[in-house]
Amino acid sequence: METSRLTRLSEFTWRIEPHDAMRVPVVIYADVELIRSMDDKVYEQAKNVAALPGIVGSCYAMPDAHWGYGFPIGGVAAFDAEEGGIVSAGGVGFDISCGVRTLCTGLRREDIEPHKEQLADALYRRVPVGVGSTGNVHLDDAGMKAMLVRGAEWAVEQGFGRREDLERIEEHGRVPGALPTEVSTQAKKRQRHEMGTLGSGNHYLEVQEVARIHDTRTATAFGIEVGDVVVSIHCGSRGLGHQIGTEFLRRMGQAASEYGIKLPDRELACAPINSTVGQSYLGAMRAAINCALANRQIITHLAREVFAELLPAAKLDLIYDVSHNTCKLEDHIVDGQRRRLYVHRKGATRAFGPGHPELPEEFRDLGQPVLIGGSMGTASHILAGNVESERLSFASACHGAGRSMSRRQATKLWRGRQVVDELAERGIIVRSPSPRGVAEEAPGAYKDVNAVVEAASRAGLARKVAELRPMLCIKG
Please tell me the predicted confidence (pLDDT) of residue 465: 98
Residues 247-269, mean pLDDT to the nearest whole number:
95
pLDDT (0 to 100) of residue 407: 93
Quickly count: other Cβ atoms within 10 Å of residue 262's Cβ. Answer: 10
Query: Which domains, ranges and CATH numbers included, belong to the chain?
Result: 3-404+446-475 (3.90.1860.10)
DSSP state letter for 214: S
pLDDT digits (tens, 9 = 90+) for 195-205: 999 999 899 99
Q: What is the pLDDT of residue 35?
A: 96
Statement: residue 77 has pLDDT above 90: yes
Q: Residue 459's pLDDT band (boundaries 50, 70, 90)?
A: very high
Helices (H), 341-434: 389-393, 407-413, 416-425
| Annotation marks residue 399 as catalytic | yes
At residue 429 the predicted structure's pLDDT band, cuts being 50, 70 and 90, is very high
Neighbouring CB atoms inside 10 A of 358's CB total 12
Looking at 66, 203, 234, 399, which residue is catalytic?
A: 399
Q: Sorting pLDDT into bands at 50, 70 and 90, what band is 376?
A: confident
Q: What is the pLDDT of residue 133?
A: 86
Average pLDDT, the chain: 96
C-alpha to C-alpha distance for 221 and 320, rounded to whole angstroms: 12
Query: Which has the closest alpha carbon to 380: 305, 322, 306, 312?
Result: 322
Number of H helices and number of E strands within the chain?
14, 19
Q: Is the pLDDT of residue 132 over 90?
A: no
User: Which pLDDT does position 135 carry in this prediction?
Assistant: 87
CB 28 within 8 A of CB 393: no
**CA separation for the pair 98, 110 (Å, rounded):** 32
Looking at residue 130, its pLDDT comes to: 84
pLDDT: is 208 or 402 the higher one? 208
Task: Say how far apart CA 126 and CA 119 lie, in whole Å.
Answer: 11
Q: What is d(CA 239, CA 241) in angstroms, rounded to the nearest whole number?
A: 6
pLDDT at 26 over 90: yes
Give the C-alpha separation, 49 to 80, whole Å: 14
> Rounded CA gap, 48 and 52, in Å?
7
- Per-residue pLDDT band for 1 (boundaries 50, 70, 90) equals very high
User: How would residue 111 be classed by pLDDT, with cut points 50, 70 and 90?
Assistant: very high
What integer is the mean pLDDT of 30-52?
A: 96
Does the pLDDT of residue 163 top 90, yes or no? Answer: yes
At 274-297, the pLDDT tens digits run 999 999 999 999 999 999 999 999
Q: 320-370: per-residue pLDDT in tens?
A: 999 999 999 999 999 999 999 999 999 999 999 999 999 999 999 999 999
Does pLDDT of 115 surpass 90? yes
DSSP state of 403: B
pLDDT score recorded for residue 476: 80
